[in-house]
Chain A
Amino acid sequence: MWDTIRYRRLQALTIAVLAALVTTCVVVAPLYDRATQQALTRIELEHATVAVRGLSVSAGAENAEEAPPDPGDVAASVPRALRARFEPPIRQQTAQPDATAAPTGMTPLVGELLSRDAVCRHVRMVQGSCPTGARQIAVSTFDAKLLGLVPGTAVVVSGATESGGVAHHVTMHVVGVYRQVRGAYWFGQSLTGRSGLQTGDSSSGLLHDDWVTAAATYTDPRVPVLPLTVNRADLGLQPHTMGVDELLASGSAISRLVRRYRSDPGFSAAAFRLYSGLPGIAANMRHQREQSQVTIPLLTVQLGVLAVVVLWLVLGAATEQRRPEVAVAVLRGRGRSGARSLLLRELLPVALAGVPLGIVAALVLTWLARTRLLPGSAPFEIRLPVVLAVAASVVVLCVVVVLVVLGATRRSVEQLLRRVPARRSGWSVGVTEALLLAAGGTAVVAFVTGGLDGPIALAAPALLALVVGMLLAHATTPVATALGRRLLRRGRVAASVSVLDAARTPATRRTIAIVTVATSLLVFASAAVLVGGRNRSLAAEQEAGASLTADVYGDDLRGVQAAVRQVDPTQRRLTTVVSVTPAASGAQQTIAVDPAAFERVGLFAGRSSPPDLSGLTPRAAVPLTLTGDAVSVTVATDDLASRAAVERADGRPATAPVSLALDLLTDDNEPVSIDLGALGLGTSSRAASALVPCSRTCHLVGVSLGTNPGATVSGTVSLSGLTSTTGGGDPTTVAVGPAGRWRRLDERSKGSMTPVSTTPTSLSIVAETKGSDTTTMTQQWLPTSLPALVTRGRGSTVAGLDGQDRAAHAVGRIARIPQAGPYAALVDLDLAARGSTVDPTDQIQVWFAHDDPALLTRLSRALAQREIRLSSHTSLAEVRRTYDQSTAAWSLALGVVVGVAALLLGLLVVVVMAVTTWRTRSRDLAALRLAGLGRRTVRSVATRAQVPALVLAVLAGTLCGAEGARLTLPTVPLFAHAPDVSTLDLRLPWWAIATVAVAALVLLIAVGWAAGAAIARRADLQRVRETL
């Protein structure tokens, strides 16, 4: 065996490497899949809060007079096997007794009384001591400050009301004042934050923070059963001891336990409750595991198929080279079985030697993935699937070797002894190839027509390339022969000999078939990786909205805008955005923005340039502003008449009083109506004045006529000489005209108010109202309908900043609004804010053009100067990371390895074909030299021989890979969970594909060229005589 391996050591190495690759492909799938699951488990558990990843079990009393089960019993209700995966339980008892403290007189205090294991180690006593005995309590610093509970204070606590309506009381003593030390211990509980607040029912008194007491309080016989006592056990998870299997098992066990608590009367009577986020995490884990079980095999199976085919062809070439040796074995009386064993003894150990190499390579790759790619330090594991994969690879390798050897030894001695094997002169297909073609072709057609899914569908790109590659390979012989002969007739000797040489050698056909598949896989893997990456980027951009977004507490829009202007006066780097999300599920969301700045800062996923948002801001209307604390104006009427809804007793028409008011918007966007008093009917003129809250600035946004409900008003009302004064100073004239600054009112229900003006300082209004008690003519600056870009719907209304529906009109459609949900409208923030306040439920944000922490710090400071705080901030990179940290993304990352491996396989095939045929080819080339061709021409023949085949194969492979990607990518999970707003873009990255294909072609040609040159160097004249 060693003699044979030594004799063809490069060939043996090649076979071993290919076998190793087959093994790696088979073994790396379960290893990598497992590593991604473990990494995801670690991340999910690490990112989950203690309470989410832990287990909290609680139980109450069956009736008011009984104590609930002991906390230890509550913990013991969790099955031992499940409990073993958690830290020892932290027992807790809480009750909600009413209490009365001496300093507050009779004002009842309501809140929780809490005892918890080792609580004194998790609160810091700022005064007094931690309770250690029964009926001792510690209060929060807020209770001490706000409620006057200091050490030494006695508190009377009432017990649960018993069946007779009697409630016992017990006196407890404040022994200390605590400050909660936040940490995992508390399972997310906050003991403070309620002190001094009114209870929902005003008669109940004030809320207090949790009072901490010792467990002895609950067992003290002097303490009655306290109302709403709940005993609880918190079991913290040990994240680093829980892998994916334990997580899935725990999730199922917890779900079972929850069902048991509900259905088992022993538990349901005591209201056993269990809270844990582990079932949800486990469900997500299962979902992502299913995804990875699509993508990882999709990539590795194809590479495995390619590696097996390459191995098949290499073994075929190797056995072809051994025909004379097989013949010798037969002639020496060994028969076919002896010949088979001769080949098997040589080839099988070599192929199987690749198995440990492949295992090591798979382990190294997985180690690299675990340490370089995957977060969470996934553990090293070799489990049953890996063992099965190794066994499968051994079986596959044995089957391939045996089949190839069987094929080689099935020939007669006469065939074995032929110096030149019989060549197919035209189009003919062997049985194996025909079967492969039929199977591959059927699979591809079935997949394209949608009749195929599952594992075979995963290999569709490889099968497509295999079919095309084999057809091309078979078409090569007749086509190249005809071409070579034509070139020869034209006298182009070197080119014709190159082509004819390529046509006659089986190595060319093999090279075409394999390089087609390899290139296809390279292109497919590249496309999958790039499309996956692009879609994650798009989804992250859509979700983040901008490179960095910061959420602001509160509703001080002006303050935020002022801070933004202070930090970025040009608003090229920052912009303010208000998001209005109605509470109703599925309702339209409103995103109010500064259109110009938003175009610069927002990320419009999937668009090469931002959309034109200019339509959101109509032609600028000049605002009417006034500043001061009082206004005065001359009000005149001309032929003003009114008619009340009810006639007078004498049957004559009654008049109704008519008043005039100015509608102002304060600097805080508060609407204020300034009554200018009653108007004289008929024709009159009088001066009117009023105080206004406009020390900073107000906008005059409307003029209203008021009358009795149902009364009508007609005539002309004029305003002139409107001035504002501050502190009795000089009046400032406010130009109320011309008429074009006002919007004519003409509504069927309200009537009409038509602005008529001849000068800038006066405004005449011709009114004709129809029974409305208030009829308002608005200034053009105040929009009546908001222009909106909508994702869907008519856009006739949008949610205003105040949460109320506002009239709107769609000025266009937009596929997606950054950060918004699927049903949203984009409006101009300035317009939306006119006449509208910001509702506390709105989210004010500041969006950043770049992820600039320094700018964020400056903004935070500017906001702090205005007593505004940032609640949180999110960067695009963080959002992208959440998309990247999924099995979907990690599975696709394997495409890089697969692509590189496919290219290496292609290169290997070129080398192998040169290695296995170099003797014959160099002898042929030497014969050409004998025939009179010069050394340079022979070299040219040798080096060019592979170029047309490689170009053809790379081209075909590229098209197959692209088509395979187009067919298969819709079935590839790109995300762990599909984003709410789809940014799916499965277009193929043609530039990248072309670049990859050209790079592959250059590499393949370079290697083919080098191999040809090496063969040409060996084509000396002595070679003609060589037989060994």
Chain B
Amino acid sequence: MTDAVSDRQPRAGLPVSTHGLVHIYHAEGHDVAALSGVDLEVRAGEFIGLLGPSGAGKSTLLSLLGGLFRPSAGKIRVGPHELSTISPKELDDLRSREVALMLQGATRNLLPYYSARQNVAFAQTVARRGGKDLPAPTEVLEQVGLADAEVDRPLSTLTPGHLQLAAIAATVATRPGVLLADEPTSQLDHDARDQVLERIGWINRTYGTTVILVTHDPEVAAALPRTVTIRDGRVGGEGRSGEEYSVVTADGFLPLPSQVRDELPPGTLVRFHRDPEDDHYTLLPEDDRR
């Protein structure tokens, strides 16, 4: 494995933002709101993690960012592109050059009959055809940490960790501006998990690629500079350098941290008190007559 960067000009990442993002799944007989107004700003080159319980809407948000489907309402902007109104052709073009989505499960990102090297080459085909200057597949694979011996072997003979590295390589083969990764460390042992996380971080640092990563793993989340917690289809909080924050939404809502919600059940009346001296806000339940 080497951290040597190609002499090609590294590309800067793309900013990603959502405003009032709503997505409703139409199931048999009833509708399910997966996202209920997500506002999110991700700066170019930022590395953030999406956290939240199962069913909170993380993967839906990631899929919307990847253009897998259109939102029911709201706006999604990736760099200069507005995904909610983008044409299929532009979307294909965006996927071939700018936005890379890494699905959960390494093999879902790979063509099973190709080797790792062939998969990377396959991923680069359209971008190369469009004139994009890309590193050789072996170079990409080397950068993600796959040894030469592994790159031409059938995928079925690779370990889960190596498969995940191959999947990363195929995903970032086009040097995208945004890398969207859905639980890239699930089903991996600690060493493999750390290796995968380290390589994604390296890509982020080296190429400035904006990385949005969905994870359930608290250890992974702790290692990320910024985390966004999705809860009940909204942004429920943010973590920055290990510190947990609640985020005021565009319509003025303030989701409570989970430990607070246990103490303040739904229906509790609260009021905010601002201490002008130390510039603090105090949350006072109705029966607290301090």
Residues of A at the B interface (CB closer than 8 Å) are: 3-4, 6-8, 324-325, 327-328, 330-336, 338, 412-414, 417, 1027-1028
Contacts and interface: CB of A to CB of B under 8 A. Distances in A.
Interface stretch (B3-11, B85-93, B215-223): B85-93
B126 interface: yes
Contacts of B105: 1027
Interface in B67-103: 68-69, 88-89, 92-97, 100-101, 103
Nearest to A3: B113
B126 A338 contact: yes
A417 B108 contact: yes
B103 A417 contact: yes
A420 to B, nearest CB: 13
17 contacts: A3-B113, A3-B118, A7-B112, A325-B111, A328-B108, A328-B109, A331-B66, A331-B103, A332-B96, A333-B93, A333-B94, A334-B96, A335-B88, A338-B126, A414-B68, A417-B68, A417-B108
Given A328-B110, A1028-B107, A334 B126 contact: yes
B127 interface: yes
Given A333-B93, A413-B69, 5 more contacts: A328-B108, A335-B88, A412-B68, A1027-B105, A1028-B107
B114 interface: yes
Interface residues of B, number: 35
Contacts of A325: 111-112
Contacts of A3: 113-114, 118
B64 to A, nearest CB: 11
A1004 B125 CA distance: 45
A163 to B, nearest CB: 101
Contacts of A414: 63, 68-69
Given A3-B118, A414-B69, A333 B95 contact: yes
Nearest to B68: A413
B156 A1028 contact: yes
Contacts of A331: 66, 95, 100-101, 103, 109
Interface string B16-42: 000000000000000000000000000
Given A338-B126, A414-B69, A333 B92 contact: yes
Given A328-B111, A1028-B155, A333 B89 contact: no
A318 B289 CA distance: 70
A412 B69 contact: yes
Interface core residue of B69, B95, B112 (most chain A CB under 10 Å): B112
Contacts of A327: 108
B117 to A, nearest CB: 12
Nearest to A324: B108
B230 interface: no
Contact of B113 (A8, A335, A1027): A8
B207 interface: no
Given A6-B113, A332-B123, A333-B126, A1027 B96 contact: no
Contact of B108 (A6, A333, A336, A1027): A1027
A209 B287 CA distance: 147
Nearest to B167: A328
A333 B96 contact: yes
B237 to A, nearest CB: 28
Interface core residue of A328, A335, A338, A417 (most chain B CB under 10 Å): A328
Nearest to A335: B92
Contact of B95 (A324, A332, A336): A332
Nearest to B96: A333
B202 interface: no
Contact of B127 (A6, A333, A412): A333
Contacts of B127: 333
A38 to B, nearest CB: 48
B122 interface: yes
Contacts of B100: 331
Contacts of A1027: 105-108
A3 B108 CA distance: 18
Interface string B110-144: 11111000100011011100000000000000000
A328 B100 CA distance: 11
A4 B119 CA distance: 12
Contacts of B112: 7, 325, 1028
Contacts of B97: 333
A412 B122 CA distance: 21
A292 to B, nearest CB: 46
Contact of A332 (B107, B122, B156): B122
Interface core residue of B93, B100, B108, B127 (most chain A CB under 10 Å): B108
A262 B89 CA distance: 78
Contacts of A335: 88-89, 92
A410 to B, nearest CB: 12
B128 to A, nearest CB: 11
A832 B103 CA distance: 100
Contacts of A333: 92-97, 126-127, 174
A6 B156 CA distance: 14
A162 B13 CA distance: 123
A76 to B, nearest CB: 74
A331 B181 CA distance: 13
Contacts of A8: 113
Interface core residue of A7, A333, A335, A413 (most chain B CB under 10 Å): A333
Nearest to B94: A333
A6 B96 CA distance: 28
A414 B64 CA distance: 11
Contacts of B174: 332-333
A3 to B, nearest CB: 5
A8 to B, nearest CB: 7
A417 B103 CA distance: 9
Interface core residue of A332, A413, A417, A1028 (most chain B CB under 10 Å): A332
B187 to A, nearest CB: 8
Contacts of B110: 328
Nearest to A337: B92
B43 to A, nearest CB: 24
Nearest to A1027: B107
A794 B185 CA distance: 100
Interface core residue of B69, B95, B127 (most chain A CB under 10 Å): B95
Contacts of B122: 332
**8 interchain residue pairs of minimum CB distance:** A333-B96, A7-B113, A335-B92, A333-B95, A1027-B107, A333-B126, A3-B113, A332-B123
Nearest to B115: A3
A961 to B, nearest CB: 39
A46 B107 CA distance: 70
A1012 to B, nearest CB: 24
Nearest to B156: A1028
Contacts of A417: 68, 103, 108
Contacts of B68: 412-414, 417
A593 to B, nearest CB: 78
A328 B110 CA distance: 7
Interface core residue of B68, B69, B94, B100 (most chain A CB under 10 Å): B68
A976 to B, nearest CB: 55
B21 to A, nearest CB: 16
A406 B240 CA distance: 47
B108 to A, nearest CB: 6
Contacts of B93: 333
Contacts of B106: 1027
Interface in B245-280: none
Contacts of B107: 324, 1027-1028
B79 to A, nearest CB: 15
Contacts of A7: 112-113
A922 B127 CA distance: 39
B125 to A, nearest CB: 8
B112 to A, nearest CB: 6
B127 to A, nearest CB: 7
A557 B105 CA distance: 98
Nearest to A338: B126
Nearest to B89: A335
B176 to A, nearest CB: 10
Contacts of A330: 92, 95
